[in-house]
Amino acid sequence: MLRPIPDLDDAAAMAKLGRLSALRNARLDAAHALRDAVVRIQSGQADDLAEINLARAALDRLEEVIGIEGHVK
């Protein structure tokens, strides 16, 4: 089933869609960074502490995005 095309003349709805899209992209970027850090740790060919710090930063970003998502109106 196709979703309806949003009302492009509704500035508030378009702004909300833009914010939600930006948050989805931020969530995806953080998830990819987390995945990449874990893969490098699993390979045993990386500086584990550096990768753990990258993974921690990615998790922090995910938590930040989740917190913001709850307040998007």
Which sequence spans correspond to the domains of the chain? 18-69
Query: Could you give the CA distance from residue 62 to residue 69 in angstroms, rounded to a whole number?
Result: 10
- pLDDT tens figures, 1-13: 998 888 899 999 8
Closest CA to 48 of 60, 59, 37, 35: 37
Residue 6: what pLDDT? 85
Q: What residues in the chain have per-residue pLDDT under 70? A: 73
pTM: 0.81
Residue 73: what pLDDT? 63
* Residue carrying structure tokens 């998502």: 69
